[in-house]
Amino acid sequence: MSWAPDSWRSCEALQQPHYPDADALAAAERELAAYPPLVSLRDVDALKAAIGAAQAGRAFLLQGGDCAESFAEFSSENIDANVSLLAAMAARIAAASGLATIPVGRMAGQFAKPRSMPFETRGGTSLPAYRGDIVNGIAFDAAARRPDPERMFRAYAQAAATVNRIEGAAYTSHEALLLPFEQALVRTDPATGRFYGASAHFLWIGDRTRFPGSAHVEFARGLANPIGVKCGPALAPDMLLALLDILDPGREAGRITLIARMGHARAAAALPPLLRAVRGSGHPVLWSCDPMHGNTVRTRGGYKTRPLEHILAETKAFFAAAAAEGVACGGLHFEMSGRDVAECTGLGVTLSEADMADRYHSHCDPRLNPAQAMALADLVAEALGNADRLDPPVLAGGAA
C-alpha cells in the first residue's frame, strides 16, 4: 500500500477534535505546511542512530517531561528546570551504569492529549473534553472548550522557542496525536526523498490509538523518525507483532521503541509474553519502561495522583521480567517537573490541603517532583548493575 502524508485520512482516526469551522482548520493547515521544520532532519537521524546503539546495549534512553505542556506554564524557568532535572537523572544513570544516556524531553510539542471521554459534564452541562492547549482551553466554559485551529500557531511558536532554548541539551518528543497538525509539519529530505515528521525528533503512538488499521499507525508508518509505541495491558503479543511489521518492515536499527506501561500489579504477568514474542520475531526494538501511566489513581477529592512506591515497583518488575527473558531494559519514560510540585505521593508528599492549594499544577497527569524523579533514577542506576556505588532509594514518610 502506498503512503502519503495524508493517507491516514482514509483510516479510523480516534481522539481527534471536532473543529466547528472546517475552513479555518484547512487554512491553518495550509499556512503551517509552509513553516520551517521545528527540528533538523539530520538531528532526527542522529537520534535514530543513538537509539540503535541503545538497542545494541550501548546506551540508555531517558525520556521525560510534562504530561501536557501548557501555554500558561510556558517560561524559560520551567524549561530550564526540566532540562536540568533530565540532565541530573542522566548523569546519575550514566555514572552508575557506564552507559551513554540519551536525553529526550517530552517537550517542545507535547500539547495534545487523548481523553477517556469526548465530553465532560458538570452540574448538568456537557462540553467538549479538554484535549490539550493545542486544541482548546482547560476552563469549563463553552468558548474555551470550542476546538480552535488558531491554537496550533501558538503551539508551534511555543515549540519553536522551546527548541531554541533547549539548544542541544535534549532531543524533543511528543505523542503524534493531532493528525492535521502533524501532517502539516511533514517535510521531505531533498537528498533522499524521505518524509520526516518535523514537529519533533521522536514521535510516539499512544496506547489508545495503536490498533492495526488506525490512522495514527498509518501516519507514523511513512515517516523516517524513530517511533515509539505505547504498550498497555490490553495489547496481545500477535497484535504487537502485526504493528511491528507495519511500522518497521525493514527492521531498521533505532526505528522502534516499545514503551511498556502496564501498572505495578500487572507488569510481572503482562510483560513476559510480549518480550518473548518480540525477541522471537527478530525485530530490533528498544524496550523502555513507562511506570507512570498504568499507575494513575484518584484521591478522595477526585484528583489524579500516582504513588511513588507503585512507580518504583513497576520499574523493578520491568527490569526483573526483562532480565528473566534475556532482554535489555534500555529506556525509561516518565512525567516529571523540575519544579517542586506535589502531584505524585511519596517522599513527603501526601496531597494535604496545603499541597493541593499551591503545589498541584498539572494540566493532565501527575508528575514526579525532583526528589521523586531522582529516587526513580537511583532505582534505574541500581538495576543497571552498579548498585554498590549508590545508596538504595529510601521512601520516607508520606507514601500513600
Which residue matches cell numbers 495489547?
235
Which partner, Co ion, ligand PEP, none, binds residue 114 by CB below 5 to 8 Å per kind?
ligand PEP
Of 314 and 365, CB closest to Co ion? 365
Of 67, 46, 59, 39, which Cα lies nearest the Cα of 333?
A: 67
92 interacts with ligand PEP by CB under 6 A: no
* Size of interface with Co ion, in residues (CB under 5 A): 2
Q: Minimum distance from CB of 106 to Co ion (Å)?
A: 8
Contact 283, 227 (CB under 8 A): no
Please, are residues 182 and 222 in contact by the beta-carbon 8 Å criterion?
no
Stretch that binds ligand PEP, among 83-91, 203-211, 368-376, 382-390 (CB under 6 A): 203-211
Burial 38-53 (b: 16+ CB within 10 A, else e): bbebeebbebbebbbb
Give me the residues paired with residue 257 across strands: 228, 286
Q: Which is nearer to ligand PEP, 180 or 294 (CB)?
A: 294
d(CA 261, CA 314): 9
Closer residue to ligand PEP, CB minimum distance, 261 or 316: 261
Residue 354 burial (CB count, 10 A): 10
Give, as one character, the DSSP assignment of residue 386. Answer: I
Q: How far is the CB of 289 from ligand PEP (least distance, A)?
A: 12
Q: Is 67 in the site for Co ion (CB under 5 A)?
A: yes
> CA dist 208 to 177, 246, 252, 376, Å?
10, 17, 25, 26
Residue count, binding to ligand PEP (CB under 6 A)? 10
Please state the φ and ψ torsions of residue 228, each to the nearest 5 degrees.
-105, 150
Tell me: does residue 206 bind ligand PEP (CB under 6 A): yes
Q: Binders of ligand PEP among 269-298, rule CB under 6 A? A: 293
DSSP class of residue 116 equals S
**Of the candidates 216, 261, 310, 316, which one interacts with ligand PEP according to CB under 6 A?**
261
Stretch that binds Co ion, among 3-11, 270-278, 359-367, 387-395 (CB under 5 A): 359-367
Q: Name which of 170 and 384 has its Cβ closer to ligand PEP.
A: 170
397: Cβ contacts below 8 Å, ≥ 6 apart? 347, 348
Answer with the entry of Co ion, ligand PEP, none that 314 interacts with (C-beta below 5 to 8 A by kind): none
Please state the closest distance from residue 116 (CB atom) to Co ion, in A.
12
Residue 255 Cβ vs ligand PEP, minimum distance, rounded to whole Å? 19
Residue 261 interacts with, from Co ion, ligand PEP, none (CB under 5-8 Å by kind): ligand PEP
290, 365, 378, 382: residue in contact with Co ion (rule CB under 5 A): 365
Binding mask 218-237 for ligand PEP (x = CB under 6 A): ------------x-------
Q: Which segment (101-109, 134-142, 307-315, 361-369) binds Co ion by CB under 5 A?
A: 361-369
Using CA atoms, how far apart are residues 82 and 35, in angstroms rounded to an integer? 27
Strands 285-289 and 297-298: unpaired
The beta-carbon contacts of 26-34 under 8 Å, at least 24 apart in sequence, are 27/149, 28/149, 28/150, 28/152, 28/153, 28/180, 28/184, 29/149, 29/180, 29/181, 29/183, 29/184, 30/184, 31/153, 32/152, 32/153, 32/156, 32/181, 32/184, 32/185, 33/184, 33/185
Determine the interface stretch with ligand PEP among 28-36, 202-210, 299-307, 336-344 (rule: CB under 6 A). Answer: 202-210
Q: How far is the CB of 177 from ligand PEP (least distance, A)?
A: 9
Closer by beta carbon to ligand PEP, 55 or else 288: 288
Q: Going residue by residue from 49 to 68, which x/- string records binding to ligand PEP, judged by CB under 6 A? A: ------------------x-
- Cβ neighbours for 21, distance < 8 A, ≥ 6 positions apart: 149
Q: How far apart are CA 149 and CA 311, in angstroms?
A: 36
User: Which partner, ligand PEP, Co ion, none, binds residue 230 by CB below 5 to 8 Å per kind?
Assistant: ligand PEP
Contact by Cβ (8 Å): 271, 232: no
Question: Which parts of this chain interact with ligand PEP (CB under 6 A)?
Answer: 67, 114, 175, 206-208, 230, 261, 293, 365
Binding site for Co ion (CB under 5 A): 67, 365
